[in-house]
Amino acid sequence: MGWLAILTLPASAVGAEYQLKLDGGAALSVEEKPFAASQHTLRDCHQSYKTCVVDGVATQGVVSEIRTELAPVTVSVGSKRYMLDTKGMFNPQLSEKDMPRSFGGFCYDENNCGFRALLGDAGGTYVAEWIIHNQVVTRTVLAADDDLIHLFRDHLSPTRYH
């Protein structure tokens, strides 16, 4: 009797755009797009025991070939629209049903917000955090650190100060 190998792929739809409504009137628009290596500068990305560097930045959470990347995340709140920096965010493994477990956050008002993301899969999980303060967007975290992954898994929305 022979064995039949079955490969299951994540239920993500590359190129699909996902929407998520969050506290404070924030609406996120997120898209996972195919990775086009020709549009990037790659170093050590196909070598065992080397850190893959894309456009001069070490990748986070990439344990296999880079297949997809996160397009800039759009945040709409009130009359404002912001773009969250997603450089270096590869193989996010998005799906519509997992959006509430992948992104969290809130806005105090249309000028001040905080967002977090928990992306990838078991072997290649990574986290990101963005703060919008007085209309200035800053990505404060991009890491594949186990402590941060556990923190974000338990607290997907940043701390809310009153």
Q: Measured between alpha carbons, how far apart are the two ends of the chain, in Å?
A: 65
Q: Does residue 48 form part of some domain?
A: yes
pLDDT digits (tens, 9 = 90+) for 123-160: 789 999 999 999 999 999 999 999 999 999 999 999 99
Could you tell me the two tokens for 19?
């929407």
Q: Does residue 2 form part of some domain?
A: no
Q: Does residue 105 form part of some domain?
A: yes
Q: Is the dihedral of CA 151, 155, 159, 162 positive or negative?
A: negative
Q: Does residue 63 form part of some domain?
A: yes
Is the predicted pLDDT of residue 1 greater than 80, yes or no? no
Q: What is the mean pLDDT of residues 100-106?
A: 96
- Residue located via tokens 């800039």: 72
| Residue type present at position 4 | L
For residues 131 and 137, what is the distance between their CA atoms, to the nearest angstrom?
A: 6
Give the domain range for residue 41. Answer: 17-154
Q: In the chain, how many domains are there?
A: 1
pLDDT digits (tens, 9 = 90+) for 65-86: 899 999 999 999 999 999 999 9
Q: Does residue 10 form part of some domain?
A: no
Q: Does residue 60 form part of some domain?
A: yes
